[in-house]
Amino acid sequence: MRPDIETDILVIGSGAGGGVVAYHLARRGERVVVLERGPRVESADMGSSEMRSIGTLYKDGGSQTNTDGDMFVLQGSCVGGSTVLTNGVCFRLPEDVRRAWANQGFEMPPEPFARSFARVERAIGVEPLDPRRLNSAAELMRRGALAWGGEAHGFAKNFAQCVGCGACNLGCRYGRKLDSLTTWIPMAEAHGALVLALCSVDRILVEKGRAAGGEVRDLRDGTRFRVRARRTVLAAGAVGTPEILLKSGLAPETAGRRTSFNVGSLVAAEFADDIDAFEGDQMGVHIAGDGWLAEQDHNPPTAFAMTLPGWYDRHASDMNRYRRLTAAGVLVPTQDTGQVFLGIGRRLMPRLFDHAEIKFRLPRADLSKLAEALTALCRIFLAAGAVRVLPPTGRAIEVRRMEDCDRIAGLIRSQADVTGFGSAHPMGGAVAGDDPRRTTVDPSFAVRGVVDLFVADASVFPASTRVNPQLTVMAVADAAVRSIGGFEPEPVPVEDLVPILRSRTPAGVRT
């Protein structure tokens, strides 16, 4: 055992939630320790290799799946968490979803919540994506959306002078993505926070009903130590937070339950001429459907190949036409029927099976919505001028005419019939609300039954967001500071901003 570390605040997780909480509390003068299970990889060290980046930055090297193995669940495992791997997309929580949360006992009042969003947006530089960084497929999607009867809109992103390299999901080696790694974490460190990477929390210390920190394992050498704290904040994500609660024997009846996702898959399309959609930002426009979202999303070659339907010669032949291909994905919010749990493997061989498992089966209504969204996306691509469209059906088909799109729904009978089905947006698992029988966390972000233990990440969401959740997680964490620290977070002063943001702000102006 190494010597204990004594602190005021222990934050477990360094991503969208943990980074925000750590910064505001450190700035207030609290002693803050942040623990992160993954490594610390600075922008300059991220490189351009897809396989190396995926293996280093993603949880389980990008291979995390549900128990049936027919759904991937992508999460970051590095300092900065999943924010390092996003495409920088920043949506505020849709108002109908906010109301749905309130109806389930988790009220985020509109005016204070709007202030939280505004503080976060200014601190991470959220602005409309520079049109000069759009890849060529963005304009094709706009054309297709109009012909389909809809409209494609641009994204607001937390980028600073993006170079348009098209490799956002591998981290930003140019340091232009203003994620938790490049903003909240170094800003917290500037106020004295200690950030420890490659440290896994085995359980929460509880003494006389009060959280007292965590028992920690250094993943580099296996040594163990304790971080003793007056208040502990779980921000390990919608899988990690319930996992730690369950390992600690806390909230066993509710932790891990009511897990939801934004799920989806990618549709690929081929055009008659080279479009070179890899030149520019990966994601340029989105289209809102009836309860779903379509997002233009052009991946680098390895990731593109992993989601492209088809086998052997056909797959190779399609990838050889990569310059003429592009893709878009759909997001469909799910019901909260998933569960994070500790499987039998961990009970029998905890050193070998040291992760929680994820159980999820897409409800029938959500499956129908997914088929509807994929069908609409195929129609949009055809309307954009695609010569053929490759929907992600397990039985590989080509769509060349509008009437061919009617075949898609009949080929999707379960999530196993969808190639590349999965989510990068897990939510819930430590749901907040006012019903103690169905929620792990009360409306003030405190874990029920334990004093001084809080949650500030996507695991508190009572329902999935439908849109990319990064910005909402940060705004919810900003709101949680009121309960954790007992104060209203202040706007981030200019002197705390990273230099690239500071240069945008006139001297003397507070953001």
Please write the tens of the pLDDT for every residue from 241-289.
Answer: 999 999 999 999 999 999 999 999 999 999 999 999 999 999 999 999 9
* Residue 225 β-bridge partners: 216
436 pLDDT band, cuts 50/70/90, is very high
Task: Kindly state the helix (H) or strand (E) to which residue 143 belongs, with its residue range.
Answer: helix 136-148
What is the mean predicted confidence (pLDDT) over 337-365?
Answer: 87
Put residue 192 in one of left, alpha, beta given phi > 0 → left and psi -120 to 50 → alpha.
Answer: left
Please write the tens of the pLDDT for every residue from 55-109.
Answer: 999 999 999 999 999 999 999 999 999 999 999 999 999 999 999 999 999 999 9
DSSP-derived 3-state class of residue 288: strand
Residue 367 phi, psi dihedral angles, 5° rounding: -65, -40
Residue pair 36/199 in contact (Cβ under 8 Å)? The answer is: yes
What confidence score (pLDDT) does residue 346 get?
73
What confidence score (pLDDT) does residue 499 get?
82
Out of 340-354, 359-373, 470-484, least confident range: 340-354
What is the mean predicted confidence (pLDDT) over 150-175?
Answer: 93
What confidence score (pLDDT) does residue 509 get?
44
What confidence score (pLDDT) does residue 507 get?
47
Residue 336 clears pLDDT 60, i.e. is over it: yes
353 pLDDT band, cuts 50/70/90, is confident
The average confidence (pLDDT) of the chain is 95
Residue 508 clears pLDDT 70, i.e. is over it: no
502 pLDDT band, cuts 50/70/90, is confident
Rounded CA-CA distance 92/39 in Å is: 29
Please write the tens of the pLDDT for every residue from 1-13.
Answer: 789 999 999 999 9
What confidence score (pLDDT) does residue 501 get?
85
Rounded CA-CA distance 276/449 in Å is: 56
Please write the tens of the pLDDT for every residue from 286-332.
Answer: 999 999 999 999 999 999 999 999 889 999 999 999 999 999 999 99
Tally DSSP H helices, then E strands, for the chain: 13, 20
* Residue 389 β-bridge partners: 269, 399
CB-based burial label for 37 (10 Å; 0-12, 13-18, 19+): buried
- Which stretches does DSSP call E strand in 186-337? 194-196, 199-207, 210-218, 224-234, 257-264, 266-270, 285-288, 293-296, 325-333
419 pLDDT band, cuts 50/70/90, is very high
Task: Kindly state the helix (H) or strand (E) to which residue 316 belongs, with its residue range.
Answer: helix 312-319
* Residue 426 β-bridge partners: 261
352 pLDDT band, cuts 50/70/90, is low
Rounded CA-CA distance 495/105 in Å is: 38
Crossing angle for the helix pair 110-123 and 470-485, nearest 10 degrees? 110
Pair type for strands 257-264 and 325-333? antiparallel
Rounded CA-CA distance 77/88 in Å is: 17
Please write the tens of the pLDDT for every residue from 229-244.
Answer: 999 999 999 999 999 9
